[in-house]
């Protein structure tokens, strides 16, 4: 996974939470769904490794105003 740095503009708040994810899964295809979020990577991996179903957690991001970092809102 990779973060591409901070963005100080507020035009596209969701851009702050996008990251690059790449995984090598020899002998298996389609292990990780498109748009897998970091919180679910281990859950998907363990589900595929052990066949014990771990339901994915819903995506959740918390944002705050640049000048008021303690005032947050869920995305």
Q: Is 1 among the domain residues?
A: no
Look up the domain containing 53 and give its range: 13-74
Concatenating the DSSP letter of every residue in the chain gives -B--------S-GGGGG--B-----TT--S-S-TT--HHHHHHHHHHHHH----PPPPP--EEEETTEEEEEEE-
pTM: 0.58
Q: Is 25 among the domain residues?
A: yes
Cα–Cα distance, 69 to 36 (Å, whole number):
27
Q: What is the pLDDT of residues 17-74, one digit of tens each?
A: 777 888 888 888 888 888 888 889 989 888 888 888 888 898 887 777 777 777 766 6
Q: Is 7 among the domain residues?
A: no
How many domains does the structure of the chain reveal? 1
Q: Is 44 among the domain residues?
A: yes
Q: Is 23 among the domain residues?
A: yes
Q: Is 20 among the domain residues?
A: yes
């Amino acid at each position: 996974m990779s973060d591409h740095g901070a963005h100080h503009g507020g035009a596209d708040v969701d851009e702050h939470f996008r990251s690059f994810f790449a995984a090598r899964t020899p002998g298996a295809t389609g292990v990780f769904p498109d748009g897998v979020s970091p919180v679910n990577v281990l859950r998907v991996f363990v589900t595929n490794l052990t066949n014990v179903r771990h339901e994915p957690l819903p995506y959740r991001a918390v944002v705050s105003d640049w000048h008021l970092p303690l005032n947050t809102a869920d995305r």
